[in-house]
Amino acid sequence: MTGYNSYVAIGDSFTEGLNDERPDGTFRGWADRLAEILADGRPDFAYANLAIRGKLLAEIMSEQLPVALETKPDLVTVCAGGNDIIVPGADVDAVAAAFEEGIAALRAEGIEVVIFTGPDTKSMSVMSILRGKVAIYNAHLWAIADKHGAKVVDLWAMDVLHDVRAWSDDRLHFTPEGHRRIALRTAEVLGVPTAEDWREPWPQTDGHPNWLTLRRSDLEWTRVHLLPWIRRQLRGESMGDGLTPKRPRLTPLLDRPGVAALAEPAEN
């Protein structure tokens, strides 16, 4: 028994599971993987994932948080604000204050809460310019967790995420292996034992991996990922426009041969 009977995940693309893709094209992600660990084979374990890619903090708090408060699960994970602070000119302090309101509301209902710091972008070309803003936001998150009794998964301190193989080509989302390790780390923070260790070293490769050899060039990345993002921001558009949560309600996890399958997947 893991001590948890129900779990609601709220957030943006990180929690939705980009880019941990299943064979059918849907996304799995660390939250789904964590739900499978927490279920531990129990058919009555209930899970909802309300996260949608591109969502800003205000949208997460107005659209997803009320559902979590209404259903009152044993556990809620919250990762939000990242899409807000990467916008030029964003007020990180104001974003953190709005984030704290949501955490306070969940804790006031006696719900266990886990939040996530932003990862360290030092080793990522171009994205490293965000490192200072991420660090400031992380300091706020630690203070919020301490004040309200939330648990923290410190992605910044996860050295295994400094390896480029943890990151997708877009330099914003994790690979399946990155998601797997984050799920294991979250289980550890919750005190839930696992058979695997998120600290396991990456396999040795020929030569020292770096963004030049293992990822698209900065120019190609700018064309494929950065410029489209800028265009969406200027138009007030989001990657998640028109999408609905993949698991909008608390429903049981059902077992399939070899995997813990998610019941009633929503169509994107």
Looking at residue 51, which CATH number applies to its domain?
3.40.50.1110
Per-residue pLDDT tens over the stretch 52-103: 999 999 999 999 999 999 999 999 999 999 999 988 889 999 999 999 999 9
| pLDDT at position 267 | 39
Is residue 1, in this structure, part of any structural domain at all? no
| pLDDT at position 218 | 63
- Domain limits at 30? 6-198+210-262
Please state the domain count of the chain: 1
Per-residue pLDDT tens over the stretch 104-119: 999 999 999 999 999 9
Is residue 237, in this structure, part of any structural domain at all? yes
How would DSSP label each residue in the chain? --S-SEEEEEESHHHHTTT-B-TTS-B-HHHHHHHHHHHTT-TT-EEEE---TT--HHHIIIIIHHHHHHH--SEEEEE-SHHHHTSTT--HHHHHHHHHHHHHHHHHTT-EEEEEPPPP-TTSTTGGGGHHHHHHHHHHHHHHHHHHT-EEE-GGG-GGGGSGGGB-TTSSSB-HHHHHHHHHHHHHHTT---SS-TTPPPPP-SS---HHHHS--HHHHIIIIIHHHHHHHHHT--TTTT---SEEEEEEEEEETTEEEESSPPP-
Judge if pTM exceeds 0.85: yes
For the chain, list residues with pLDDT below 50.
214, 216, 255-268
| pLDDT at position 222 | 65
| pLDDT at position 171 | 78
Is residue 267, in this structure, part of any structural domain at all? no
| pLDDT at position 261 | 44
| pLDDT at position 255 | 46
